[in-house]
Amino acid sequence: MVVKAMRFSENASLQTRNTFAITAKARFLADVYDESQLAALLNTVTAKRLKVLILGGGSNMLLSQDFDGLVICPQLFGVHCISENDNQVIVEAAAGENWHQFVQYCLTQGWYGLENLSLIAGSVGAAPVQNIGAYGVELKDNFVSLRAIHRQTATVREFSLAECQFGYRDSVFKGRLKDQYIITAVRFRLSKIAKVSVQYGDIRQELTSKGIDSPTPQQVAQAVIAIRQRKLPNPEQIGNAGSFFKNPVISQTQFENLKQQYPNIVAYPQQQDVKLAAGWLIEQAGWKGQSLGQAGVYEKQALVLVNRGSATGQEVMALAKTIQQSVYDKFGVRLEVEVNLI
Ligand code: EPU
């Protein structure tokens, strides 16, 4: 296989490389096409002296200013089967693969388990960092291991499921090992036997409306795609980074008090605590469809902030802070930002 040579540029625009379509620039930008190029780059003086930002699909970040450092874009591609038996397959995808295309490829091969995660923007390599999740399934449910390269030493190591410490929109790569590793490949265990996860209300409704009782994984994927297309803005048309905030988790006691005041509050009981639908809180605080300058709150899903044309990262942050304050004033609940602020 012929691998392209690394591409290095200076004063590079990041506008088409972040789904919020913010017009920030990088002092240096490098597209790398395999692990050895990545290791060589990390060993250069430039990489060792400068601030480094790893940019996958750019779909879960907000650039608040130009990046005065080196942006590394891992353009590592390839999907292959590591092992299989009659029931399951272990498949490895390189970090640069587009997540949605990877999920659809698995479906065409008859490898099931990722269908609820259809149409999530971003790359395979970024997916474990925040343990992407949707419609009752999280990445961790089908995860086996990943390969990652250390940013300082350029050594490669493997991380098991336990070592990744996955949680709700969380992993060790957002915590103790933040900014230390670059993920280069991810392995999943997928089932060859079709079994679907349709407990999430929206999916059930979508399938019922189509008269489907026992859906195939492909039908579940189609349902998820239809719901997402209805509710979430297409980043190719309206700049956004998906849910801007996490759904907040509060204590049972705080929830009982809120429920007295707001009987319609949307909540999901957890083992000990209660997770609230942040979209509901933001909508009730009056923000759905509103704007502050060029930054706005999406009309069909209040958890998503959008770039109405030429918003700066600062403008989006100003809107986010105002919403946080407003939700806190009304409900006493703090909203935590879910996207990475750069
Ligand atoms: N809701 C409102 N108003 C809104 C939005 C939501 O009242 O404007 C209420 C509705 O009652 C709705 C409920 O909140 O039924 C839940 O909404 P939705 O099903 O859209 O899910 P979410 O909790 O807002 C989470 C994830 C999404 C994921 C969906 C589906 C987070 C931060 N977000 O959103 O993930 O697609 O569930 O599983 O957990 C993302 O992370 O970027 C993302 C889009």
Which tens digits make up the pLDDT trace of 106-126?
A: 999 999 999 999 999 999 999
- Could you tell me where the DSSP H helices lie in the chain? 35-42, 45-49, 99-109, 161-164, 201-209, 217-231, 252-261, 278-284, 313-331
**CB of 91 closer than 8 Å to CB of 190:** yes
What six digits make up the tokens of 285?
């605080």
Q: Which atom of ligand 1 is nearest to the CA of 135?
A: 38
Distance CA 216, CA 210 (A): 13
Please name the amino acid found at residue 295.
A
Condensed to tens digits (0 to 9), the pLDDT of residues 238-281 reads: 999 999 999 999 999 999 999 999 999 999 988 899 999 999 99
pTM: 0.94
Return the best residue to mutate from 119, 243, 300 for the ligand 1 pocket (most ligand atoms within 8 A of CB): 243
The protein residue with its alpha carbon nearest to ligand 1, atom 6, reads 279
- Tens of pLDDT, residue by residue over 174-222, are 999 999 999 999 999 999 999 899 988 899 999 999 999 999 999 999 9
CA distance 102 to 302: 28
pLDDT one-digit tens code per residue, 119-146 = 999 999 999 999 999 999 999 999 999 9
Is residue 266 within 8 A of residue 280, CB to CB? The reply is yes
Residue 143: HSE in the Cβ half-sphere, 13 Å Cα cutoff? 30
Instruction: List pLDDT tens digits, range 74-103.
Output: 999 999 999 999 999 999 999 999 999 999
* Ligand 1 proximal residues by C-beta, below 6 Å: 134-135, 202, 231, 242-243, 246-247, 266, 277, 279-280, 283, 288, 301-303, 338
Query: Has residue 41 got a pLDDT over 80?
Result: yes
